[in-house]
Chains A and B, each alone.
Chain A
């Protein structure tokens, strides 16, 4: 099962220039909360932003990553 650090690194690799924080919010190793701020999100709806992050993990969502809760936004200004 991935660690918060691994998840953070994968998002950063897929979305260069983004600010990412990931925490395991149940302590059980499979429920994560990620906050992602990325220039790649400019002009995209929140729905699209979430889709972009989920796409990084594909099949793992619902499996090893039981839950990935997201807060996303484009950089301000």
Chain B
């Protein structure tokens, strides 16, 4: 098999993996870095919002392989990272996620109560948030 064909096969396999991950996880965030150690401010903010709502989520670090970002953008028709998917649909990047969080929409989309705490950056790495009365 030629290198070109091999490369195309690998991309196809990667694309299928990405599509599968989006389909299999209720909430999945494609980001730079990890929730414990985000590599960019926009990714950090999106993680902080999800953690403030106490909703567990899957995370994919796109920095691991530049092809992840390319295949993801081809699937979602969205050029930037982070990208938040809920139940298989693109919700948006950091800007949209922040707006939806502030309006209370994101909590509804995720099926949770309002924020259990204010978003904290850098994120604490916890995905379970205790209920606090303030």
Contacts and interface: CB of A to CB of B under 8 A. Distances in A.
Interface in A26-72: 46-47, 50-51, 54, 58, 61-62, 67-71
B79 interface: yes
A67 B42 contact: yes
Nearest to B92: A47
A54 to B, nearest CB: 5
B80 A61 contact: yes
Interface in B14-62: 42
Contacts, number: 30
B42 A50 contact: no
Contacts of B77: 51
B96 A47 contact: yes
B99 A67 contact: no
Interface string B88-103: 0011111110010000
Interface in B57-95: 77-80, 90-95
A62 B77 CA distance: 14
Contact of B95 (A50, A51, A58, A61): A50
A70 B90 CA distance: 16
Interface of A: 46-47, 50-51, 54, 58, 61-62, 67-71
6 contacts: A46-B99, A47-B92, A50-B96, A51-B78, A54-B78, A69-B94
Given A54-B79, A54-B80, A69-B42, 9 more contacts: A46-B92, A46-B96, A50-B95, A51-B78, A54-B78, A62-B80, A69-B95, A70-B95, A71-B95
